[in-house]
Amino acid sequence: MRQTWRWFGPKDLCSIDDITQVGAVGVVSALHHVPNGVVWTKGEIAKRYQEIATRKDGSASGLTWDVVESLPVSEDIKKQKGDWREHIANYKISMRNLAESGMEVICYNFMPVLDWTRTDLRWEVPNGGSCMRFDINDFAAFDIHILTRPGAAADYTNAIADEAERRFSNLSEHEKKQLGRNVTMGLPGSTESMSLQDVQAHLDEYGNITRDQLREHFVHFLEEVVPEAEKLGLRLCCHPDDPPFALLGLPRIMSTEEDYKYILDAVDSPANGMTLCSGSLGARPDNDLPGMMERFGRKVHFLHLRNVKRDNDDIVGSFFEAEHLGGDTDMVALIAAIVREERRRKSEGRKDAIIPMRPDHGQDILDDLGRRAQPGYPTIGRMKGLAELRGVMTALEHQSVNF
């Protein structure tokens, strides 16, 4: 695997100089300052390449921009409303500009309204560190009592709704505001953080769009952009839903193995692929991560290796971001499946035999605790995770026998 590191640009507290010291050889980045639906110009793309290639003192970093994460799919495209046709046209132009720059891998997602959702961004773990957590009871308290979404209570079991009411009644005004900010934070580095009014407006815009309709919109988007990606030599890879189940009354369509099979079969092309995120998919007990790598391996273009610990085996349940080798996903078995896939690709002579990987998320530990970096993206916590993953990778890659 090619070891990469996510970087949110010049304002990221983890600098390019830091990345050169953690052992990564490539960078995963995006133009977060460009609004969704707007063209990524050649000039802005070239600027990001230069920023990644340069240390603070002006010397060469030796790092390359290996993966775009993400080239956002606008809400208009997902809903097929407003300027969605123009946004698809702009998406194709951005793809062409990226391909001309030398980029080959573009990660994106098709989650409605919120790109990821957590209820606590700094949840304390027993060793004194902190991590992100999704608590279904706290989320229900937000949904039913803070957002006051019409009909929200019917989307939860009686036990969850009752516990949500109890928790809400014990929250101070500050805690209610904090919970609201946590849930609506969305993607780190995004220009589109949302107020409660923004969220409700988006929900109203989605209206009665069903799961099947959202799938149709996704397939239509892929039918437009995948042929262009194939001509340009790009590999598109969809990130799974995070968490991998429906929220806020909205359908989610990239949460399970069946979801991926449907989309990959609907537009069958080497350019239509998967970002296998072991943390997002691992939040569901019915997702078999090593098995999914075995079955979808030919179309896995990008890897997010992280782990979560579930509170129980409920499909819709609570979880926290665990240490990379300490959660519910068997990371050794998953990496073994990845190594087997890379060996198979090498035997076939594929130019993409080495799959880019980044250590996704991490717990805030040591000096991370005082830095207040992007939630989920501490420097030391991710470096620890990368070191652990690198150890497993190195051991498995040097074995000459099948495992």
Is 360 an active-site residue? yes
Instruction: List the structure tokens of 170.
Output: 């014990």
- Is residue 204 within 8 Å of 177, Cβ to Cβ? no
DSSP run (H or E) holding 394: helix 379-397
The catalytic residue among 115, 288, 360, 364 is 360
Is 202 an active-site residue? no
Q: Kindly report the backbone phi and psi dihedral angles of residue 378, in degrees, each rounded to the nearest multiple of 5, phi listed first.
A: -75, 150
The catalytic residue among 239, 259, 260, 288 is 239
The catalytic residue among 108, 156, 206, 377 is 377
**Helix, coil or strand: residue 133:** strand
The catalytic residue among 14, 131, 238, 277 is 277
- Is residue 244 within 8 Å of 144, Cβ to Cβ? no
Length of the chain: 403
**CA-CA distance, 95 to 65, in Å (whole number)?**
15
Is 237 an active-site residue? no
The catalytic residue among 304, 324, 364, 368 is 304
The catalytic residue among 12, 361, 364, 368 is 361
Q: Kindly report the backbone phi and psi dihedral angles of residue 185, in degrees, each rounded to the nearest multiple of 5, phi listed first.
A: -65, -35
Nearest to 357, CA basis, from 95, 16, 28: 28
Classify residue 281 by burial, with Cβ atoms within 10 Å: 0-12, 13-18, 19+: buried
Is 377 an active-site residue? yes
**Parallel, antiparallel, or unpaired for β 272-277 and 235-239?**
parallel
Residue 385 C-beta-side C-alpha neighbours within 13 Å:
32
According to DSSP, residue 60 is labeled B
Is 361 an active-site residue? yes
Is 324 an active-site residue? no
**Helix, coil or strand: residue 250:** strand
Identity of residue 256:
T
Residues with active-site annotation: 239, 277, 304, 360-361, 377
